[in-house]
Amino acid sequence: MEAAATSKVDVLIIGAGPAGLMLSLWMAKLGVKTRIVDKRTGKIVSGQADGFQCRTLEIFDSFGIGHKVWHEANHMHEVSFWNPDEDGKIRRHHRGPNTQPNLSRFTEAVLHQGRVESILIDTIRASASPKHPLVEIERSVMPTSLHIDESCVDDEDAYPVEVTLRHLTEEEATPTQRLSNLQDGLYRSNLAEDDTERLLANTAGVGREEKVQAKYVVGCDGAHSWVRKTLGEEYQMKGESTDAIWGVLDIIPITDFPDIRSRCMIHSAEFGAMMIIPRENKLVRVYTQLKQVSTGTGRVDRSQITPDVILETARKILSPYTLDYHYIDWWTAYQIGQRVGDRFSKHNRVFLTGDAVHTHSPKAGQGMNVSMGDTYNLGWKLGLVCKKLLQPHVLDTYELERRQIARQLIAFDQKFSKLFSGRPAKDASDEAGSSMSEFQQAFREAQLFITGVGIHYQPSILTSDSDLKGGLQGTETPSQSQVTSLAESAAHCQPGRRFASQIVLSQADARPWELQLHLPSNGRFRVVVFGGDISQATQLATVNKLGGWLQANWMTDEDPSIVDVLLVHSGPRDKIELLQDLHEVFHPFDKKLGWDYGKVFADDHGKAHKHYGVDPDRGAVVAVRPDGYIGLVTGLEAEDGWTRLQAWFGGLLRPSPSSS
Amino acid sequence: MEAAATSKVDVLIIGAGPAGLMLSLWMAKLGVKTRIVDKRTGKIVSGQADGFQCRTLEIFDSFGIGHKVWHEANHMHEVSFWNPDEDGKIRRHHRGPNTQPNLSRFTEAVLHQGRVESILIDTIRASASPKHPLVEIERSVMPTSLHIDESCVDDEDAYPVEVTLRHLTEEEATPTQRLSNLQDGLYRSNLAEDDTERLLANTAGVGREEKVQAKYVVGCDGAHSWVRKTLGEEYQMKGESTDAIWGVLDIIPITDFPDIRSRCMIHSAEFGAMMIIPRENKLVRVYTQLKQVSTGTGRVDRSQITPDVILETARKILSPYTLDYHYIDWWTAYQIGQRVGDRFSKHNRVFLTGDAVHTHSPKAGQGMNVSMGDTYNLGWKLGLVCKKLLQPHVLDTYELERRQIARQLIAFDQKFSKLFSGRPAKDASDEAGSSMSEFQQAFREAQLFITGVGIHYQPSILTSDSDLKGGLQGTETPSQSQVTSLAESAAHCQPGRRFASQIVLSQADARPWELQLHLPSNGRFRVVVFGGDISQATQLATVNKLGGWLQANWMTDEDPSIVDVLLVHSGPRDKIELLQDLHEVFHPFDKKLGWDYGKVFADDHGKAHKHYGVDPDRGAVVAVRPDGYIGLVTGLEAEDGWTRLQAWFGGLLRPSPSSS
Ligand SMILES: Cc1cc2nc3c(=O)[nH]c(=O)nc-3n(C[C@H](O)[C@H](O)[C@H](O)COP(=O)(O)OP(=O)(O)OC[C@H]3O[C@@H](n4cnc5c(N)ncnc54)[C@H](O)[C@@H]3O)c2cc1C
Ligand SMILES: Cc1cc2nc3c(=O)[nH]c(=O)nc-3n(C[C@H](O)[C@H](O)[C@H](O)COP(=O)(O)OP(=O)(O)OC[C@H]3O[C@@H](n4cnc5c(N)ncnc54)[C@H](O)[C@@H]3O)c2cc1C
């Protein structure tokens, strides 16, 4: 073995699944020196996760790639519930929208994980520029040791985490079943053993090793996370597995079942439950409960699980409808269980994300979404701290915010899985059975959470406190935030929730825009000024005064400034001249590119003001975090607005070298 | 010189500009053996055409790539007219929508030609499959001779056109200015000389030559078309040039002119006219009249034209507003002229398309659109004739249909250019000046034509006659069609016009769709059945009887059949069971892929029926050509509907080997 080379990097990411790729995307966008390694030779080619929630699509859109997924994916508009009728035959009991209308401009959509990973990888590559180093996924590489030098974790210029990386052979990096049978997903299932231990043990003739000193290390290494295990006992996930085993088939079905292109939740009288997920390219995913493969004592006989066994069960559940297929894309099986870790970070230097810190059943289509949600939350914080734009203590909010979401997810999944796996109750007196109406209601109630749109981060240094409370169940005791919002200024913009989209017209060219598209994920904080009717001189003066204050205080020297200012006004568009009437902060000038015409929007008839809960006579200011979540809501005037903004930014941003 | 090798090909395309690429796309989609050659080493990288009309976007969408252009392009929503006021200073006189609302789901959009060519090339490549040979653009190749063997032009198995191709050297294929200065577009302008003659003359040390025998040759070789010249005198274009010289700058402007992000038509009192086209990525295209460079006798001194000259003129026109730039992307100049050929085809074996057969000024953003429109019209006809699915005499309709469009274009351009280049009239009595209100009105009236949505092909074997006439000015004497439409069945579906889009819900999964997206460009004819309220038993029976007749008569043995059937009904969606209630022609079965669930649509509250002018109590049948233009409108019943459909298809399609 050669002596290990040593190099330094700001961020080292372990694992290139959805969580790792989303994090790399942030790093690539922000231009942070990053390495990402994965023990496998290649990415997923088929199967695995496929459900794309509304909020995830919004996030993809904020990176300019939402339309790609949206175009290729199947959109799921409808859900059908099929239950046994009096003679035990399944019958459609209810049909309704799969995504609650008007939550988002997207509905739930379905596209397989491999395609999603490709899109992310291409976007990471495309983010490279002369100023931003290329972030390339290094395959067939895994860590073999991780050590934190605790003496310097508070020194932000230090590289306190040392990781040894081993470059694997092609054989080590290729799981056995992989090449011979691409459709077989069982080797990656939670019923199969992980190979990390075996690989680590294989010290005879190991490949090249190197040492990396990192400022930050992020474990995105999935359910069997080596990073998590390495961090010690107190990082182990807690929770339980149930006996319920489910099989998954991705097929092009040949069936006379009428709702095969809708999402279906089917409970049969005798043969267990089934879920149907219509997918892209005529594919359909079928989840079926496999009652027969459990050996009773909680152990599972894996060798008994084959696509035929899953198909047989599906046929029994669907009977009298027929089910067959010619083409199978992928199949697997898993055991339902819910686990979540207590700790998501060590010294804010090593972090755990995604399946590495929470696992649950896949049927609600949450894992990939929540995993990317974790690193979407972490990425900009890490990036801006590396760039010395953000105060390092903001990193505390990662565990605070995402652990809450993970716990809500686990609680939802426990309830939902139990109701789904249970035998349908024969009638109201049948207490051992699951009530089908309770099941439907649980599904409906969970919608806001499932779509990701309901996420509501608790108060913290990032999220001001608000009078208008109303989080989801399971909210932890809030850590006190330092600033309070003037919540009534924009009553439907609750701090901690994502800034929703409304359609507004570009002042400069009359183009209608989803306002969210003007809050791209580029690491900038945003001050969205709702100006009200600025064709009124006093209102215009107030807005311009605020503009002057923003310019003087928060337009830092970086190019572009860490704070971005948008103006939405409800005046008549043709009465306003962008360059002439408005303060320059609303049309910043660049020596080479001229004025920026893309920051001011007209809100026809004040419709958007109304949706955001802003009184057009008074206006409001909404400060939005780089991840699109609302941080602060306040007024336009010096007293209400400026002081709160000053305090909020003051607690987060680093004093710019030029100011103070 | 080596002896020339000889090979055979179905279609040989000369020139890989927009026209040639659109044609190749059809060929690649239809799987026709095709070669495409271009004398240049590479495609356009910047500049040239940039205007994308609504209809072109719809066409791109029918190939599955509309969203790509739409996402990248700038959308032009507004147009401003600036004229001199009493003191001769320019002033905004009018502002309005640039595209008439509700014409299309798109508005005019702007993206440079190089990007468009890339998207086309990638799509051509992606169309290759085991069944469909790859169509690769062969660069640095030009024809040196073309000969038609007239003795066998009527034998469809013959290859009557022999072309000699020469493989150029890198030096020959690279225009001199190209590598040294990418921004300079003058070498491609109509003020510059073409190098074809020089290249042809250079017989010393020529590269490899080969002979190609083709069934069909298509000249897509632009304004200096060698193919056109080779066809002889009677193919020369006719028309005239004016003195007006215009300069073009693609810059990121630094200006206080308030409407710089709108399309603007500016007439100054003294310094000529100017047009502003806001583009993608902060670019703006500026067209300015260059009064000073014409030497008076109609000759132009090219050496006098520089970006500075164009900028100087633009500054004078825009004064008192300022104009500057740091970044220039491209620039050129051209002389206004309008020419069109009389003949677009020789023996239906050699065709002329695009700039090779009509040229005009670029300001209305028509050239690229009309050029692609030509080959979009020709491509499917040629492809289906090669595949022996369509009767060869249908090829006659190419010249018939596209010459009319070219003539309308020339007429429009003459009028528009004259008004634009003219000095603005001082008042109503100033007859030598152009009237600004007349100019605005001409622009408004031309909208339908400019957008491409107004295209109305005259009656022919492809387009049935209709009672409800109403073509644009300039329609040629119609060649009689053999079938007449029952026009009142779908009053807003006029034969010869494109089948417009409406939103309908997929019966199978409730997804809302633009109906046009279910008429993709794949070479299939479409029978769109408007079923009305099929929850009524009699109406359902009528629809199913028609289904049976279609199945028996027009579902040919090819896979898929050349005729595709769609059903749009206005019954309540949840009262209809797709597989159970409807004839199998509406959900065709495939042994490997199961039933097709994508052919039936519910029309909520009959809104789409109303837009198409269909009475929901009676229904209608609209037969649509593979290019999305309406061929025939008729009723559902045997007498009205079937006989007309029979006659129409009978005149076009070849008897399928299995039937008759
Ligand atoms: C059948 C099925 C259906 C599902 N359906 C959905 C769904 O519809 N929607 C949804 O959102 N989620 C779904 N999921 C869950 C989803 O797949 C996971 O939650 C998601 O992939 C987790 O992302 P991750 O990046 O955290 O982990 P992973 O995707 O597991 O990625 C971890 C990566 O780290 C690498 N790695 C692991 N260990 C090491 C190591 N020691 N060193 C280096 N690299 C390492 C792995 O090779 C892998 O590439 C489904 C899962 C299954 C099995
Ligand atoms: C400044 C400017 C602005 C314009 N703006 C617009 C606009 O906004 N919208 C719009 O729609 N149109 C616009 N146009 C017009 C548009 O560019 C043309 O109409 C369009 O490119 C014509 O397409 P084409 O494929 O017919 O010909 P071309 O684009 O000219 O392509 C011809 C191709 O054939 C090749 N070729 C030529 N001779 C030979 C030969 N002998 N052998 C082999 N290959 C050969 C050439 O290399 C070239 O690649 C503009 C043009 C200019 C100059």
The string of pLDDT tens digits covering residues B596-650 is 999 999 998 899 999 999 999 999 999 999 999 999 999 999 988 899 999 999 9
- What does the alpha-carbon distance between residue A263 and residue A104 come to, in Å, rounded to a whole number? 19
- What does the alpha-carbon distance between residue A555 and residue B71 come to, in Å, rounded to a whole number? 30
* Mean pLDDT rounded to a whole number for chain B: 90
- Using CA coordinates, name the residue in chain A closest to B517: A71
Structure token digits, residue A270: 């005798």
- What does the alpha-carbon distance between residue B59 and residue B123 come to, in Å, rounded to a whole number? 13
Indicate which residue's Cα is closest to atom 27 of ligand 2. Answer: B222
Is B634 within 8 Å of B654 (Cβ atoms)?
no
In a domain, B625, yes or no: yes
Q: Are residues A614 and A513 in the same domain?
A: yes
Those residues of chain A that have pLDDT short of 70 are: 1-4, 175-182, 187, 204-206, 294-299, 467-481, 656-660
Mutating to test ligand 1, I would choose from A76, A113, A368, A405 the residue with most ligand atoms within 8 A of its C-beta, which is A368
CA A527 to chain centre: 23
- Using CA coordinates, name the residue in chain A closest to B508: A261
In a domain, B333, yes or no: no
In a domain, B479, yes or no: no
Provide the pLDDT confidence category of residue B582 given band limits of 50, 70 and 90: very high
Side-chain-side CA neighbours of A479 within 13 Å: the count stands at 13
Q: Are residues A172 and A121 in the same domain?
A: yes
Query: B242: Cβ–Cβ under 8 A, 6 or more apart, which residues?
Result: B335, B336, B337, B417, B418, B421
Contact A508 B261 (CB under 8 A): yes
Q: Are residues A445 and A526 in the same domain?
A: no
Point out the residue among B256, B261, B579 whose CB comes nearest to the CB of A258. Answer: B579
In a domain, A103, yes or no: no
- What does the alpha-carbon distance between residue A266 and residue B518 come to, in Å, rounded to a whole number? 31
Q: Are residues B65 and B211 in the same domain?
A: yes
Contact B592 A255 (CB under 8 A): no
Mutating to test ligand 1, I would choose from A221, A277, A284 the residue with most ligand atoms within 8 A of its C-beta, which is A221
Backbone angles phi, psi at A528, to 5 degrees: -95, 110
To the nearest whole Å, the CA of B327 is away from the closest chain A CA by 7
Question: Is B362 one of the annotated active-site residues of the chain?
Answer: yes
* Beta carbon of B18 within 6 Å of any ligand 2 atom: yes
Query: A99: Cβ–Cβ under 8 A, 6 or more apart, which residues?
Result: A54, A76, A77, A107, A108, A447, A451
Q: Are residues B146 and B9 in the same domain?
A: yes
Q: Which residues of A are catalytic?
A: 50, 279, 287, 362
In a domain, A158, yes or no: yes
ipTM of the complex: 0.91
Pick the last residue of a domain from B369, B403, B435. B435
Point out the residue among A76, A77, A509 whose CB comes nearest to the CB of B78. Answer: A509
Indicate which residue's Cα is closest to atom 1 of ligand 1. Answer: A48
Is B382 within 8 Å of B22 (Cβ atoms)?
no
Say how many Å lie between the CA of residue B20 and the centre of ligand 2: 10
Q: What angle do CA B466, B467, B470 make, to 5 degrees?
A: 85
Chain B residues whose CB is inside 8 A of the A251 CB are none
The overall longest dimension of chain A from CA atoms, in Å, is: 79
Range of the domain at B526: 487-652
Is B279 within 8 Å of B109 (Cβ atoms)?
no
From the list B18, B253, B278, B362, the catalytic residue is B362
Point out the residue among A78, A511, A593 whose CB comes nearest to the CB of B282. Answer: A593
User: Counting ligands in written order, which one lies closest to the CA of residue B21?
Assistant: 2
The overall longest dimension of chain B from CA atoms, in Å, is: 79
Provide the pLDDT confidence category of residue B54 given band limits of 50, 70 and 90: very high
Q: What angle do CA A295, A297, A301 make, to 5 degrees?
A: 30
Backbone angles phi, psi at A232, to 5 degrees: 110, 170
Q: Which of A126-140, B254-268, B283-297 has the lowest mean pLDDT?
A: B283-297
In a domain, A79, yes or no: no
Q: Are residues B430 and B531 in the same domain?
A: no
Residue with tokens 């901690």: A496
Is A411 within 8 Å of A375 (Cβ atoms)?
no
Say how many Å lie between the CA of residue B262 and the centre of ligand 1: 47
Counting one residue from chain A and one from chain B, the pairs whose CB atoms sit within 8 A come to: 85
Q: Are residues A648 and A531 in the same domain?
A: yes
Is A14 within 8 Å of A219 (Cβ atoms)?
yes
Q: Element (H or E) spanning A325, and its range?
A: strand A323-340
To the nearest whole Å, the CA of B253 is away from the closest chain A CA by 6
Q: Does residue B71 sit at the A interface (CB-CB below 8 Å)?
A: yes
Contact A511 B326 (CB under 8 A): no
Q: Are residues B344 and B209 in the same domain?
A: yes
- Using CA coordinates, name the residue in chain B closest to A74: B511
CB atoms inside a 10 Å sphere around CB B231? 21
- What does the alpha-carbon distance between residue B489 and residue B471 come to, in Å, rounded to a whole number? 19
Q: Counting runs of H as helices and runs of E as strands, what totals does chain A give?
A: 16, 28
- What does the alpha-carbon distance between residue A161 and residue A158 come to, in Å, rounded to a whole number? 9
Is B157 within 8 Å of B79 (Cβ atoms)?
no
Q: What is the mean pLDDT of residues B171-200?
A: 70
The string of pLDDT tens digits covering residues B90-114 is 999 999 999 888 899 999 999 989 9
Say how many Å lie between the CA of residue A128 and the centre of ligand 1: 26
Please choose, from the candidates A287, A294, A300, the residue with its C-alpha nearest in 3D space to the C-alpha of residue A192: A300
* Percentage of residues in chain B having pLDDT higher than 90: 71
- What does the alpha-carbon distance between residue B211 and residue B196 come to, in Å, rounded to a whole number? 19
In a domain, A475, yes or no: no
To the nearest whole Å, the CA of B396 is away from the closest chain A CA by 37
- Using CA coordinates, name the residue in chain A closest to B323: A594
User: HEC states along B319-372?
Assistant: CCCCEEEEEEEEEEEEEEEEEECCCCEECCCEEECHHHCEECCHHHCCHHHHHH
Q: Are residues A444 and A508 in the same domain?
A: no
Chain B residues whose CB is inside 8 A of the A325 CB are 594
Pick the last residue of a domain from B395, B419, B435. B435
pLDDT of amino acid B428: 77
Contact A577 B282 (CB under 8 A): no
From the list B10, B50, B374, B581, the catalytic residue is B50
Q: Are residues A493 and A380 in the same domain?
A: no
Contact B262 A509 (CB under 8 A): yes
Say how many Å lie between the CA of residue A574 and the centre of ligand 2: 38
The string of pLDDT tens digits covering residues B341-398 is 999 999 999 999 999 999 988 877 899 999 999 999 999 999 999 999 999 999 999 9
* Beta carbon of B19 within 6 Å of any ligand 2 atom: yes
**Helices of type H across A110-248:** 113-126, 170-173, 176-180, 196-201, 226-231
In a domain, B170, yes or no: yes
pLDDT of amino acid B205: 62
Q: Element (H or E) spanning A305, and its range?
A: none
394-433 in chain B: CB under 8 A from chain A:
none
Q: What is the mean pLDDT of residues B431-453?
A: 85
Query: B366: Cβ–Cβ under 8 A, 6 or more apart, which residues?
Result: B51, B53, B360, B409, B413, B450
CATH number where A115 lies = 3.50.50.60
Burial of B480 (0-12, 13-18, 19+ CB in 10 A): exposed
Beta strands in A225-322 (DSSP E): 238-255, 263-267, 273-278, 284-289
Q: Which residue has the higher pLDDT, B44 or A491?
A: A491
Q: Are residues A525 and A635 in the same domain?
A: yes
Would you list the DSSP string of B221-238? --TT-HHHHHH-GGGS-E
To the nearest whole Å, the CA of B587 is away from the closest chain A CA by 11
pLDDT of amino acid B594: 94
Provide the pLDDT confidence category of residue B299 given band limits of 50, 70 and 90: low
What is the total count of domains within chain A?
A: 2
Is A265 within 8 Å of A257 (Cβ atoms)?
no
Q: Provide the 3-class DSSP secondary structure of residue B455.
A: coil
**Helices of type H across A137-267:** 170-173, 176-180, 196-201, 226-231
- What does the alpha-carbon distance between residue B526 and residue B191 come to, in Å, rounded to a whole number? 46
To the nearest whole Å, the CA of B509 is away from the closest chain A CA by 5
Say how many Å lie between the CA of residue A55 and the centre of ligand 1: 19
Say how many Å lie between the CA of residue A189 and the centre of ligand 1: 10
Q: Are residues A605 and A506 in the same domain?
A: yes
Pick the last residue of a domain from B396, B414, B435. B435
CATH number where B540 lies = 3.40.30.20
